[in-house]
Amino acid sequence: MTRKMMFEAEVGIGLLHLYMKNLQPSMLLVLRLSIFFASMLNYEEVKRT
């Protein structure tokens, strides 16, 4: 299992927890943006190695 796959699994689990908590849409938007930036950073890191 690659690091990218592990990262995606963690993100999926995090989203599931948030979905179950029924957070406000604004909070979900903030979370989705932060996940997007985190995945971009992760992609850059993987590309370098």
Which of 6, 7, 1, 5 minimizes the C-alpha distance to 41? 7
The count of domains in the chain is 1
Mean pLDDT by groups of 10 residues along the chain of 49 residues:
78 75 72 83 74
d(CA 39, CA 47): 12
| Full domain range(s) for residue 42 | 3-48
Structure tokens at 1: 């299992």
Residue 23 CB coordination number (10 Å): 14
pLDDT of residue 22: 65
pTM for this structure? 0.40
Q: Which residues contact 28 (CB under 8 A, 6 or more apart)?
A: 18
pLDDT of residue 27: 74
